[in-house]
């Protein structure tokens, strides 16, 4: 099972963590969230599980960036996925 979590640091930079080959989907989700949160200013959101995008969690994360622009958050998310 795989999971992808997003967070942000105190300066607004995106933080992320990916897990893969975990024994269960629950463990993948928990591990990704906890590892991401260790490097984040707030609790991270798991926005993908086994390749399935979780729109509600992504929107909650993006809106939790203290009024962050959703377009900017979308671009930051895409950069974490493409490495650009």
Averaged over 32-47, what is the pLDDT? Answer: 93
Q: What's the sign of the alpha-carbon dihedral 7, 17, 31, 52?
A: positive
Q: Quick one: pLDDT at residue 12? A: 75
d(CA 84, CA 67): 24
* DSSP H or E segment with residue 25: helix 25-37
d(CA 6, CA 37): 8
Banded model confidence at residue 42, pLDDT cuts 50, 70, 90 = confident
pTM metric for this prediction: 0.79
Among the listed residues 84, 83, 66, 80, the one whose alpha carbon sits nearest the alpha carbon of residue 32: 80
More confident residue, 74 or 42: 42
């Amino acid at each position: 099972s795989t999971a992808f979590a997003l967070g942000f640091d105190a300066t607004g930079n995106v933080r992320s963590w990916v897990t893969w080959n975990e024994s269960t989907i629950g463990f993948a989700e928990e591990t990704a969230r906890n590892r991401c949160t260790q490097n984040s200013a707030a609790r991270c959101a798991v926005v993908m599980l086994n390749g399935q995008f979780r729109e509600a969690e992504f929107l909650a994360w993006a809106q939790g960036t203290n009024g962050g622009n959703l377009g900017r958050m979308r671009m930051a998310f895409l950069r974490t996925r493409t490495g650009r």
